[in-house]
Amino acid sequence: MPFSHASEAAPDTAPDAVPVELLEDATSAADAQEDAPDYRVLRYGVKEFPIGKLVAEALGVAGRLDRLGSATAAGERWVRENDQASAWHREFYAHFDDIRPAYLALIYGPVRKFMAEPFYYQAVPTFRVHLPGNVAVGEFHTDGQYGHPVGELSFWMPLTKAWGSNSVWIEGDPGSDRYAPIVAKPGEIAVFNAVELRHGNQANTTGRTRVSFDFRCIPTRLLRPTEAKSINTGMRFAPGGYYSESVVGAGFALA
């Protein structure tokens, strides 16, 4: 992997997310910019949608989420088969009912505005922990490789600062095999085409744990019947399965 262009920033000086305007300039500019990752930034208010706080409570973490696991040995590097299997993952999914109201408020608020057409959303988001010395996802991949339908958009939502090697690295163009990290912080969601752009992790050398979750939305007009199922949950990519039963953005009120 051509990761030599990676730049690391100290935790307190991690730059703000790259504004969409700059990314658009970058992707249309010189070859030197060809590694610019192709994502847009959706902003939300962390006070209005206190998801990081709710996740910390769900995990029983009193301190900062970016210190999660710092007192434990890094242990074996996670692989695809066990990257959803930690005690933190179990706690997140076991307590998701406590997080769901804020998640739905986010979906029916800022995400609905962003999508601007009727869509289904991932019923239960996917939780990630990127410990120092480890990865959060076991392999570089496209979500298309795992059967996700074309047209699905990924919403990658850091609950701690994400930069350099504690972030997700994504291709600038499908098939380019050249990567750069998403740089984002709580209050920002990076939206990208994970179905077609390869993405994955490096070993985290930042000294800070990244905690995040990600969810997918797909316009109703693009979702075709499929037998494909999520590799993590075994749920079919269908309304009432992997996706919400309800359509958002077609005049439905938040229940």
Q: In this chain, which stretch among 34-42, 96-104, 193-201, 218-226 interacts with Fe ion, using CB under 5 A?
A: 193-201
The nearest distance, CB 21 to Fe ion, in angstroms, is 26
Q: Which residue type does 150 have?
A: V
- Which residue's Cβ lies closest to Fe ion? 143
Q: Could you write out the DSSP letters of every residue in 32-48?
A: GGTT----EEEE--TTT
How far apart (Å, rounded) are the C-alpha atoms in residues 121 and 139?
A: 24
Sheet holding 199-200, edge to edge: 179-181, 169-171, 199-200
Q: In this chain, which stretch among 91-99, 120-128, 164-172, 186-194 interacts with Fe ion, using CB under 5 A?
A: 186-194
The nearest distance, CB 148 to Fe ion, in angstroms, is 8
The nearest distance, CB 128 to Fe ion, in angstroms, is 10
The nearest distance, CB 70 to Fe ion, in angstroms, is 25
Continuous H helices in 143-242: none
How far apart (Å, rounded) are the C-alpha atoms in residues 138 and 244?
A: 26
Q: Which residue type does 13 have?
A: T
Q: In this chain, which stretch among 39-47, 187-195, 224-232, 233-241 interacts with Fe ion, using CB under 5 A?
A: 187-195
The nearest distance, CB 194 to Fe ion, in angstroms, is 5
Count interface residues toward Fe ion (CB under 5 A): 2
Q: In this chain, which stretch among 31-39, 124-132, 143-151, 220-228 interacts with Fe ion, using CB under 5 A?
A: 143-151
Q: Please, which residue, 118 or 151, has the CB nearer to Fe ion?
A: 151
CA distances from 119 to 148, 221, 243, 251 (A): 15, 8, 10, 12
The nearest distance, CB 58 to Fe ion, in angstroms, is 22
Residue 75 backbone class (left: φ over 0; alpha: ψ -120 to 50; beta: rest):
left
152 binds Fe ion (CB under 5 A): no
143 binds Fe ion (CB under 5 A): yes
3-state secondary structure of 70: coil
3-state secondary structure of 236: strand
Residues that bind Fe ion (CB under 5 A): 143, 194
